[in-house]
Structure 1
Amino acid sequence: MRPASAAPAIAPRSWAMLAVMVFGQASTTVVTATPAFLIPYLHSEQGMSLASAGVLAGAPHLGLVLTLIAWGALTDRFGERRVLLAGLALTTLAVAASMLAQGFAWLGIALVASGAMSACINNASGRLIAGWFPIDKRGLAMGIRQTCQPVGMAVAALAVPAAANAWGITGALAFGGVLTLVSLVACAIVVVDPQIPAKTLAQASSNPYRESGTLLRIHAVSVLLVIPQFVLSTFGLVWFVIGFGWSELAAGALVAAAQLIGAVGRIVAGVWSDRAGSRLRPIRIIAVACAALLLLSAAFGWADWAIPAAIAYVLVSCVSVADNGLAFTAVAEIAGPRWSGRALGAQNTGQFLASGLLPPAIGALIAVLGVPAALAIVAIAPLIAVPIVPSEDDAHATATRTAKAVR
């Protein structure tokens, strides 16, 4: 977890693979986020209730939950390149199936399938970057990699409502499918598995979950901190369109801006962790800031102050995603090369399980209490996370025992 005194130079190819992973993960993010940005269209044009539309919004994330650990195990066994090529090809096919689906049930099943197949890149991309970048630059690299989610959300926020209004649900779904197909081609051209010394692999055989509860605590913290992130990204558009009467274009631009600023925040958090020699201490500060900004957003919402609420929304959206790269990097480093695929799968499983279950529940809560009250209630989650964050010393000790590295 601490920066090495003499890190190897970063190969130019590493940056090329990082760029392809950002594009690929952003593309699959568009695929999984598309149903969430269809909520206003489904609600106003199709007459669907917010709770029902929320079910479709959560369907891809449910699919992710079902396959993340399996994709991680496949990555540990067969390597990143094979998993990426197979998974992205299957994702493209699943999106095509969702475009052809007729009726609520079949559409929901197809969306679950598209999320399940897109899970291939979540673990493989993180493992690939951890293998190609030295420890003192890994926070930066993972921070850049983590921009894929807010960038994908921003693209979806701008493109999906417009595509739905122009070409209906089929056109909106097709957008993410085309991006995924392009990312598949890019992976085939650029991606090469990192070369991990055989001696390191032979020594990195210990199960990190048996060494201590550090990884489980990080997983729990990440689940708690992902709650505000997905509430804000899923229902931000609805809040400003229905709650404040903004146009879909204006609300979409606000959500996109929040996601893009959040992308920069992830990079800053990664550099912060590299310089501090800690992935976990910054997470505590982020959790406290997130809770405070959620309460501020709720207050502005109750006061019906649209512009202050929009500013607070952008700030809390940025802060709410800043911890993701830090936790992801910590898990990869602690788990080691033989377990990182499965550990990253477990990390994402908890997060996407929460995101899959949240939209229907939050949609129903908003229908009863309104968005400001829902934000105030959600602020409890990051406050609970603060004392659960493990100490840096515990994380470093677990990583050392797991790796048994020879100096």
Structure 2
Amino acid sequence: MQSCRNCPCTSRSRARTATARTQRSSRSCVTSTRAGSSYRWTILAAGVVAQASFSAILLGLPAIAPQIRHGYGLTLTQVGVVLAALNVGLFVTLLPWGIVADRIGERAVLATGLTGCAAALVVAGFTSSFGGLVAALAAAGALGGGTQSASGRAVMSWFGPEERGLALGIRQTAVPLGGAIAAGALPALSAHISLRAAFFGLAAGCVAAAAIGTALLRSETTKADEHEDASPPLRNPRVWLLCAAGTFYVTTQISLIGFLVLFLHDDRGVSTAASAGVLAGTQVLGGAARIVVGRWSDRIRARIVPLRQLALALAVAAGASALLVHASLWLLVPALAVAGTLGLSWNGLSFTAAAEAAGRRRSGAAIGLQQTFLSGGGIVAPIAFAAIVHATSWRLGFALAAASPLFGYALLSPLAERRS
């Protein structure tokens, strides 16, 4: 027996067996959340549905802004307050929802948040006053805010860094996708049934997404998580810079997307249906741009460099739209579509950068913090933009929006990846 154990053939066999076992173990640790598990695409699909249902509210309401304005007898500034109400609720609860998602998991947060959001939308449908509408939409934002962190954290956990930009880009495509669907459906519901039916339709979408998320989402962790830097995002200066820069990007996004229908309808005399069609088309293009940008960032192994380049492109496109405010619609509409597409393109990349800066175990809190900043911008931007337009002109409003991403460009300079 001793001689057999010392036999070179047996030793080599044992070595090969041990090596193979080590390689299999190593691969299982590294790829369990990547190509080794096709279920990650199911997780991504559930995240897309959940985010689309909530984004349909956030980006779909501008499509029926004229109906809301006339139905409630609102001024332009009050319309800005209504459009900002969801972000008021989001601002308060996004970070807490992210921390809760890190502690108890994505499924419970998503199901609870979307169900509560649906209930608030039903209340919004029954309210008949400006104050009641604002309160109901703020509650919908506060309850639905868990969707942002939960669905993003789930996707972050199941995909590795080599395809995470693409995956989170696809997930963030749900934002303009939900907006595009709502931009097509809400005006039809409002025109052919009632404004109340539009709110009920949004609520139904949230209930369906909550059911899908409850059925499909599950947690995935690896041994790599045990060795990950778990420093809180609130102490991470990289996360703070990303959050602050994103605020300047989102200001331009909301100024362009949130008032596109109202501008084309009220100032240029385009029908509500045609204006909503332009908005829907822009949302679709913006969604495609998020996927392309995410894949681009994976290929060049950088997040900040593309973010800064997008800031420059967005500033140029929004500035061109400001110059063409009174030009032919054949020139103005394409300019607005390009600017809106660029205004929507950056979000998935910023989302990915913030989540990666914090690490997977703390990604919920990082996403919550980042989305809190974006919601803060979402509160200020529509109110400020509407007030500026009301006091001056659409041209000045768009021109100021064009300048905003340049501040984000400057803030991200210290974080830009350097070529070796």
TM-score (norm 1): 0.91
2:321 aligned residue = 297
1:257 equivalent to 2:275? Answer: no
1:268 equivalent to 2:281? Answer: no
1:63 equivalent to 2:89? Answer: yes
Which aligned pairs between 1:219-258 and structure 2 lie closer than 5 A?
219-258=243-282
Aligned length: 388
Contact 1:34-1:173 at 8 Å conserved across structures: no
- Residues 178 and 220 of structure 1: is their aligned pair in 2 closer, same or farther, counting only changes over 3 Å? same
Contact 1:14-1:133 at 8 Å conserved across structures: yes
Is the partner of 1:205 in helix, strand or coil?
Answer: coil
Is the partner of 2:259 in helix, strand or coil?
Answer: helix
The whole-number CA distance in structure 2 between the counterparts of 1:69 and 1:42 is: 30
1:95 equivalent to 2:121? Answer: yes
- Residues 201 and 99 of structure 1: is their aligned pair in 2 closer, same or farther, counting only changes over 3 Å? farther
Give ranges in structure 1 of 5+ residues lacking alignment: 1-5, 397-407
The whole-number CA distance in structure 1 between the counterparts of 2:60 and 2:416 is: 41
Q: Deviations over 1:107-164 (max 9, x none)?
A: 2111100111110110111111110011100000011001111111112222222222
Give ranges in structure 2 of 5+ residues lacking alignment: 1-29
The whole-number CA distance in structure 2 between the counterparts of 1:68 and 1:47 is: 31
- Tell me by how many angstroms 1:41 deviates: 1.1
Q: Deviations over 1:44-82 (max 9, x none)?
A: 454321111221111111111110001001001101111
* Residue type at the aligned position of 1:299: L
1:135 equivalent to 2:174? Answer: no
The whole-number CA distance in structure 1 between the counterparts of 2:248 and 2:418 is: 19
Contact 1:279-1:327 at 8 Å conserved across structures: yes
- Tell me by how many angstroms 1:86 deviates: 1.4
- Tell me by how many angstroms 1:309 deviates: 0.8
Contact 2:233-2:365 at 8 Å conserved across structures: no
* Residue type at the aligned position of 1:99: G
* Residue type at the aligned position of 1:147: T
1:149 aligned residue = 175
The whole-number CA distance in structure 2 between the counterparts of 1:57 and 1:74 is: 27
Residue of structure 1 aligned with 2:219, choices 171, 190, 193? 193
The whole-number CA distance in structure 1 between the counterparts of 2:228 and 2:351 is: 22
* Residue type at the aligned position of 1:241: H
Residue of structure 2 aligned with 1:39, choices 61, 65, 71? 65
1:286 aligned residue = 310
- Tell me by how many angstroms 1:203 deviates: 4.6
The whole-number CA distance in structure 2 between the counterparts of 1:250 and 1:349 is: 33
Contact 2:108-2:214 at 8 Å conserved across structures: no
Moved more, 306-315 or 87-96: 87-96
Contact 2:94-2:371 at 8 Å conserved across structures: yes
1:24 equivalent to 2:47? Answer: no
Residue of structure 1 aligned with 2:40, choices 5, 11, 14? 14
2:368 aligned residue = 345
- Residues 97 and 281 of structure 1: is their aligned pair in 2 closer, same or farther, counting only changes over 3 Å? same
- Tell me by how many angstroms 1:25 deviates: 0.6
Q: Deviations over 1:257-307 (max 9, x none)?
A: 0110010000000000000000110011100000001111111114x3211
- Residues 141 and 179 of structure 1: is their aligned pair in 2 closer, same or farther, counting only changes over 3 Å? same
1:110 equivalent to 2:140? Answer: no
The whole-number CA distance in structure 2 between the counterparts of 1:185 and 1:357 is: 33
- Residues 298 and 394 of structure 1: is their aligned pair in 2 closer, same or farther, counting only changes over 3 Å? closer
- Residues 94 and 196 of structure 1: is their aligned pair in 2 closer, same or farther, counting only changes over 3 Å? farther
- Tell me by how many angstroms 1:23 deviates: 1.3
- Compare CA radii of gyration and give the structure with the larger one: 2
Q: Deviations over 1:297-320 (max 9, x none)?
A: 111114x32111100111111111
